[in-house]
Amino acid sequence: MAKSHRVGIAMDFSSTSKLALRWAVDNLINQGDHIILINVQPPKSDHTRKELFEDTGSPLVPLEELKEINFTKQYGIARDSEVLDVLDTVSKTKEAKVVAKVYWGDPREKLCAAAEDLKLDSLVIGSRGLGSIKRLLLGSVSNYVVTNAPCAVTVVKGNKSSNSRH
């Protein structure tokens, strides 16, 4: 039997991160793989669990717990039925093991740290496609992660809106 892979998916519940999740499920996840949904909360967020896990990130949370409303209250994450449906389906159809982990801080640093801590084989991240000026000012999370993560990184680009230049 082939070795199962550990695939991290950066999830901020934006349309591009959901696109990245769907892409990973369709193109990367094989029978029995491990999916780790990685959510990075802003450092200012002040949820009860942050004090406990600010340095290490939350414990790994199994899909069953992720579905519970209690989890979303504890970590301040919106309950997203679309994401839960995709995860539920892949856990049944491909017998993937699904867990989530919450970090607090700069997404660039935390995603790279997560890739190392969780010993990921690959990380999938959505790209918001900021314009060149914004990217220059803000720095692109995906560019940083591609350059600094200790594993393979796939950047899934969002669809360009009809009024943007090609």
| Alpha-carbon torsion, ordered 38, 83, 35, 39, to 10 deg | 0
In a domain, residue 163? The reply is: no
Encode pLDDT of 28-75 as tens digits.
Answer: 999 999 999 999 988 777 666 777 787 889 989 999 988 887 777 778
Residue-number span of the structural domain to which 135 is assigned: 6-157
Q: Is residue 164 part of a domain?
A: no
pLDDT band for position 5 (50/70/90)? very high
- CATH of residue 63's domain is 3.40.50.620
pLDDT band at 163 (very low <50, low <70, confident <90, very high): very low
Answer yes or no: is 166 within a domain.
Answer: no
pLDDT in tens, 111-142: 999 999 999 999 999 987 666 665 555 557 88
pTM: 0.86
36, part of any domain? yes
Predicted pLDDT of residue 130: 62
